[in-house]
A = this chain, B = another copy of it.
């Protein structure tokens, strides 16, 4: 059961609801979003139904949710949501292109990649300062130094920044530099990290675990939401299967499936799915027409010397074709490009 408080609900209204639920032997999880407080109830639903919670002061709406994920479910919130990253929308009305280097290596490389991203039509810059790598002997990212480079490149280009966090204790620092925090596939069930970004004041991109079911993915989003951050974008990036011809198997069906179950936006990462440059363009096209709310792609000015995943990064020659495909197919879907609107800017 989920209670959505009115926008002008007072803290004592929230406390009163919590107290009544606990008095009835239930648990109440308070989620303080940017413009609404939501309370998830766990316990005896029949009992709750007899308690007239809907008439308590400050309560807007009481919804019975049958799924295990509550705050992120579409049952609770039938309209699909938009998330704004420094005013750049990701949601049902737009197709948003996010691009940038897999890893931040140098200021020059990052700026060059950001310029490439803009050339392709991207309105958000991706770039990793913390890289979770299979081997401890591989490049692990520049850390805070990388975050500073990203902030400088944002200054230069105007592109808001999306970057990965890998440890709960780094979240506040990373949030002070970046505009959106990414949870990578290996950390989708790092619950301490999910809770940390749930308490951050910036939107979150939650990549699907490479062998997580859609339900587990939504439960991971619920961990974030439950801590008060409802600004979550889901990202399908390929799952692990027996097939080795591609790095991962892009589960393109996940987009329409998730959109029926959850109100959260969902985007596709064609670069990590296929793991090969030549697959990025066809998979990007498929992503847009299947209904994804955006795509996130790797670009690199000199992929042969990239410290991370060079084989899947787009190069200069690919950008025009990508830009054209995104523009044409966005039009086909009757959406608009995911650009900041002056009225919506934060």
Given contacts A167-B192, A329-B332, contact A257 B245 (CB under 8 A): yes
Whether A279 and B257, one on each chain, are in contact in the complex, defined by CB atoms closer than 8 angstroms, is yes
- Is A110 an interface residue when CB atoms closer than 8 A count as contact? no
Whether A243 and B214, one on each chain, are in contact in the complex, defined by CB atoms closer than 8 angstroms, is yes
Bitwise interface map of A from 236 to 262 toward B, beta carbon under 8 Å scored 1, else 0:
000111111110011111111100100
- Is A78 an interface residue when CB atoms closer than 8 A count as contact? no
Whether A279 and B253, one on each chain, are in contact in the complex, defined by CB atoms closer than 8 angstroms, is yes
**Minimum CB–CB distance for A216 against chain B, Å:** 6
Bitwise interface map of A from 152 to 189 toward B, beta carbon under 8 Å scored 1, else 0:
00000000000000111100000000000000001101
Report the Cα distance A283→B257, complex, angstroms.
11
- Is A215 an interface residue when CB atoms closer than 8 A count as contact? yes
Q: Which residues of B contact A244 (CB under 8 A)?
A: 213, 244
Whether A29 and B137, one on each chain, are in contact in the complex, defined by CB atoms closer than 8 angstroms, is yes
Report the Cα distance A256→B276, complex, angstroms.
11
Report the Cα distance A169→B291, complex, angstroms.
40
- Is A94 an interface residue when CB atoms closer than 8 A count as contact? no
Pick the contact of A29 from B69, B136, B239 — CB < 8 Å? B136
Bitwise interface map of A from 127 to 142 toward B, beta carbon under 8 Å scored 1, else 0:
0000011111100000
Whether A213 and B245, one on each chain, are in contact in the complex, defined by CB atoms closer than 8 angstroms, is yes
**Minimum CB–CB distance for A260 against chain B, Å:** 7
Q: Which residues of B contact A190 (CB under 8 A)?
A: 166, 186-187, 190
Which stretch (A45-53, A114-122, A219-227) binds chain B? A219-227
- Give the interface centre of A210, A243, A260, A279 by most chain B CB atoms within 10 Å: A243
Whether A249 and B251, one on each chain, are in contact in the complex, defined by CB atoms closer than 8 angstroms, is yes
Report the Cα distance A191→B131, complex, angstroms.
10
Q: Residues on A close to B: CB < 8 A? A: 27, 29, 40, 42, 68-69, 132-137, 166-169, 186-187, 189-192, 210-211, 213-216, 219, 222-223, 226, 239-246, 249-257, 260, 273-274, 278-279, 282-283, 285-291, 328-329, 332
> A213-B244, A285-B289 known; 17 other A-B pairs, CB under 8 Å?
A136-B226, A169-B169, A213-B243, A213-B245, A239-B241, A239-B249, A240-B242, A241-B242, A245-B253, A246-B253, A246-B257, A249-B249, A253-B279, A282-B290, A282-B291, A283-B290, A289-B289
